[in-house]
Amino acid sequence: MLQFFAKYKFFAVVMLVLSAIIVSIIYSILKPDRKLPVYEPEMVNAELVDSTVQYVRKYHKISDFNLINQNGEIVTQENYKDKIYVADFFFTTCQTICPIMTDHMKEIQERLIDDNDVLLLSHSVTPKIDSVARLKKYARSKGVNDAKWNLVTGDKKQIYDLARKSYLAAKSDGDGGPYDMVHTENFVLVDKKKRIRGFYDGTNPEDIDRLITDIAILKREDK
């Protein structure tokens, strides 16, 4: 019997390898492509969502906006029409998480610099302080590519409504003062239909890698 197995050992090994390859091919064909969830307000931490939209279960989209970027230009949804984009909230005088978040936004900019389907959008939560001139100075110091990344200021209420009613990405302590919004480290991934498809820790390098991967998933979905 040992002679029998020895005689057919090579054949058995070849069949085993071929079987593994065939199983792998079948699995790759049958395995469905990973899809990103569409986030609704009801799915998000209630601390980050305005009470008026907390229980919305479907059809949530980013509202229209009219803001001013680092070059003094009006920025609206039209600038992001048919684009995938990453949004966040910051302020130029922040010395805690903002510099890390901005560096990671810069990394995303550089990694996707030739991808015309993807843009970036950073909203100031202290718009009275962050004038166009201040945003321009900040943009230059951080290596912002104007064609890829808008830093925007404008009406405070509009920005705060966007943060809590659209992007679902900021806390509020409600004191009515200049710092009554507690912006988070969240990066928000928005698809071409203005829907939220992911949240990422903008201070975590691993989340930045995950964000880049998820953008590729969205691009395949569009095809």
If asked whether residues 118 and 60 sit together in one domain, one would say: yes
Name the residue range of residue 215's domain. Answer: 41-222
For residue 188, what are the contacts with CB-CB under 8 A and spacing of at least 6?
86, 87, 88, 167, 168, 169, 196, 198, 199, 200
If asked whether residues 10 and 87 sit together in one domain, one would say: no
If asked whether residues 92 and 172 sit together in one domain, one would say: yes
If asked whether residues 216 and 123 sit together in one domain, one would say: yes
If asked whether residues 14 and 53 sit together in one domain, one would say: no
If asked whether residues 77 and 23 sit together in one domain, one would say: no
Q: Which domain CATH number covers 50? A: 3.40.30.10
Low-confidence ranges of the chain (pLDDT < 50): 2, 4-5, 12, 17, 23-31, 178
Question: What backbone phi and psi angles, to 5 degrees, belong to 68?
Answer: -125, 130
In a domain, 36, yes or no: no
Q: How far apart are CA 140 and CA 133, in angstroms?
A: 11
If asked whether residues 74 and 1 sit together in one domain, one would say: no
SS3 state at 118: strand
In a domain, 147, yes or no: yes
What is the count of structural domains for the chain?
2
If asked whether residues 53 and 118 sit together in one domain, one would say: yes
In a domain, 79, yes or no: yes
Distance of CA 103 to the CA centre of its chain: 15
pLDDT at 4: 45
SS3 state at 160: helix
* Strand pairing category for 186-190 and 181-183: unpaired
pLDDT at 220: 95
Question: What backbone phi and psi angles, to 5 degrees, belong to 216?
Answer: -60, -35
If asked whether residues 61 and 14 sit together in one domain, one would say: no
If asked whether residues 81 and 161 sit together in one domain, one would say: yes
If asked whether residues 113 and 193 sit together in one domain, one would say: yes
In a domain, 115, yes or no: yes
Distance (Å) of CA 77 to CA 15, 103, 154, 190: 58, 25, 15, 12
In a domain, 156, yes or no: yes
| pLDDT tens sequence across 146-163 | 999 999 999 999 999 999
Element (H, E) at 200: strand 196-201
If asked whether residues 20 and 74 sit together in one domain, one would say: no
Put simply, whether the predicted model's pTM sits higher than 0.75 gets the answer yes
